[in-house]
Structure 1
């Protein structure tokens, strides 16, 4: 994966991948550790990191919305992608294809 952190879209894609990974770690590792191994600290730590990344994702979404003049519907899809497991990865694939088509 390559991201151009110089552009709002590149930063948004990068933060989206990190946010998606943190969400999967929270749901797939930290939550089972909390409930099956009685280790609530896992959720506290991963949940905190995920919360910070979610806020960064929302700020990056606002930035890319104004930079690219995204429609309201597109912003809603990007927001929903952050709530669905694997959603940010799906969105990143679409944005990467769109980015490649616009530079070709």
Structure 2
């Protein structure tokens, strides 16, 4: 299950960066492209985010993470590039 969590963490990080890039770089220049990309990118990010949180909860009990480690892993999903840090530091052995 840790390998699946590692994959979801990486994909969630990329989807978050794609969503931010869409808002920061495409929206000011081309609003039609922004609107056409918003739903698929947003939906993918939402599904991956929910999967990340659920897998983090399941792995907390399976891997016996401390409350501090679990909080850092959850907070990593709210920060750009945070899931990449989590993947490197906490999921390295997967």
Per the normalisation by structure 1, the TM-score is 0.79
Deviation >6 Å, runs of 4+: none
Instruction: Compare relative contact order (CA 8 Å, sep 6+) and give the higher one, 1 or 2.
Output: 2
Q: How many aligned residue pairs are there?
A: 91
Unaligned runs of 5+ in 1: 1-7
Determine the C-alpha separation between the residues in 1 that align with 2:73 and 2:43. 22
> Match of 1:93?
88
Give the CA RMSD over aligned residues: 1.5
Cα shift at 1:96: 4.3
Map 1:25-40 → 2, pairs under 5 A: 25-28=18-21, 30-31=22-23, 32-38=25-31, 39-40=34-35
Determine the C-alpha separation between the residues in 2 that align with 1:42 and 1:34. 10
What SS is found at the alignment partner of 1:82?
Answer: coil
Determine the C-alpha separation between the residues in 2 that align with 1:72 and 1:96. 16
Per the normalisation by structure 2, the TM-score is 0.87
Unaligned runs of 5+ in 2: none
> Match of 1:64?
59
